Amino acid sequence: MTEGTRPTNFIRQIIDADLASGKHSLVVTRFPPEPNGYLHIGHAKSICLNFGIARDYRGRCHLRMDDTNPAKEEAEYVEAIKQDVHWLGFDWGEDAYHAADYFEQLYQWAEALIRAGKAYVDDQSAEEVRRTRGTLTAPGTPSPFRNRSPAENLDLFRRMRGGEFPDGSRTLRAKIDMASPNLNLRDPVMYRIRREHHPRTGDKWCIYPTYDWAHGQSDAIEGITHSLCTLEFEAHRPLYDWFLEQIGIEHRPRQIEFARLNLTYTVMSKRLLNTLVKDGLVSGWDDPRMPTIAGLRRRGYTPEAIRLFCDRIGVAKADSTVEMDLLENTLRETLNVSAPRALCVHRPLKVVVENWDEGRVDQIDALFMPESPATGSRKLPFTRELFIEREDFMEVPVKGWRRLSPGKEVRLRHAYVLRCTGVKKDSSTGEVTELRATIDPETRSANPKDGRKVGGTIHWVSAPLSSPATLRLYDRLFQVANPGAGEIDFRTQINPRSLQVVEGARVEAALAAVKPAERYQFERKGYYFADPKDSREGAPVFNLIVPLRDTWGKSAAG
């Protein structure tokens, strides 16, 4: 499936049925992040699901900040979240909301529940509430304040709002069933007292609604038809429906749960991600190794690749962990047809072409994308002294070696066929320091006239007419597929080679003035992204987005 074909899943089937039955004529979904942290690729799944449905059904998807808990939320996250959603390619139009904007309405509904005898003010402490909730098998015990009169409850609740009671001293609880086998129905808390400055409402309120009391009602107010959330909210659905029923609103959104995204070799919870940042294990929320949207963006991932990934993983109810390979594959697939090619020698080995005059420069025209000539070309200067990749030379070649070795020929990409005629080594270390070679002048962008076959093609750059570059080679953040599994501190499982900085790389002349945030495929190596913050003209810094598949390296290593 390529991006653009419609995904199908059980949620879309429900929507199809609702449209067919006439239950709804317009589909309205919502993406409700809590502004207490950065978005990660797990959120991207939800974003693509919700906005994707709105797009395909010509409906709407609202962006709603689920800001009911001022103790944890900050305004700075709101902007970051909006930026991430836009970057992913989605637009909520005029429909940006805050749960906090519904506080007054929620309060009025709460009073109505009190009048109806469906909610009461509880004077018990958090500790007492916890102790009397019962267990999985034993029912809870009713609060001694459970049967206060509506009038007393109303008075108390108003005084709670008025600030007469200290933080945590009282709550408003829904009066449902302390013996319910579903713990969420054992008189859940609707309001807690908390003198906390709210980024949206300031100091207007000292009581704040809980998620359960705020979410369904917010959905109803906005006319959401399908409220999509993750599996752990499944047991909350009876409560979601109960509140809607009690306030008597006619619009009834339907909550549907799906499995959250897990990815191998990384962690996804905000808590763990936060630990990585706080402990300095990564450079920040936008460290290119992070699964955050900001991190992936900094790394060079594209929105289209992430969207394609989200289409491919599907949406279902079974707990699952997707292999990182699938994500990387969507990057390669999309970048293969969009990234111009370039030559970059990561670890240079000097080659002197003995039959090429000093000072002579041959400007060879090379297509940026051989399969899309319309993309244009650039000049590759060929000179007497070149650099090739150290690992493309092997003094004693192994079986199947198609690259350079003494006396053998190899094709220099876009240029000439080159034969290695000599090897210079450091007398003390034995390390190869320089190669001597000759080129076949008849082979400039052409095959040998005598019809002989040249096995391999390697990349190269002119030694004098190339530029130095810094490469940041990224690899999976963790060494194990499921970090933190089995009592192990996930911090000890970080991949020590998750970032390798290569300082002495050389890029072809055309890349001397590369602009930040440009993407290239460095042929035979991988896809790279000029770091948007650190790369500058004359001193380019490239982040490895994803390496090219390497069947040779794999078989050689295995």
Partner RNA sequence: UGGGGCGUCGCCAAACGGUAAGGCACCGGGCUCUGACCCCGGCAUUUGUAGGUUCGAUUCCUACCGCCCCAGCCA
| Positions marked active-site | 34, 260, 270
DSSP string covering 99-164: GGGGHHHHHHHHHHHHHTTSEEEE---HHHHHHTT--SSS-----TTTT--HHHHHHHHHHHHHT-
Minimum distance from residue 360 beta carbon to RNA (Å): 18
Encoded amino acid at 100, one letter: A
| Kind of pairing between the strands at 432-440 and 348-353 | parallel
Residues 6+ apart with CB under 8 A from 48: 88, 90, 306, 307, 310, 311
Shortest distance, position 420 Cβ to RNA, whole Å: 14
3-state secondary structure of 432: strand
For RNA, give the closer residue by CB, 402 or 536: 402
Pick 283 or 481: Cβ nearer RNA = 481
Q: Which is nearer to RNA, 49 or 494 (CB)?
A: 49
Question: Could you tell me if 252 and 224 are in contact, meaning their C-beta atoms sit under 8 angstroms apart?
Answer: no
Question: Would you call 547 helix, strand, or coil by DSSP?
Answer: strand
Q: What b/e string do you get for 36-72 counting C-beta neighbours within 10 Å, with b at 16 or more?
A: bbbbbbbbbbbbbbbbbbbeebebbbbbbbbbbbbee
Please name the residue ranges forming H helices in 467-518.
Answer: none
CA-to-CA distance for 228 and 223, rounded, in angstroms? 14
Minimum Å gap between C-beta 105 and RNA is: 17
Residue closer to RNA by CB (options 275, 283) is 275
- Per DSSP, 235 falls in state G
Which C-beta is closer to RNA: that of 35 or that of 288?
35
Q: For residue 240, what is the enclosing H or E element?
A: helix 237-247
- Minimal distance, residue 370 CB to RNA, in Å: 6
Closest C-alpha among 377, 446, 397 to residue 417: 446
Answer for the pair 71, 37: CB distance below 8 angstroms, yes or no. Answer: no
Smallest gap from residue 357 Cβ to RNA (A): 21
Least Cβ distance, residue 536 to RNA (angstroms): 26
Q: Which is nearer to RNA, 456 or 532 (CB)?
A: 456
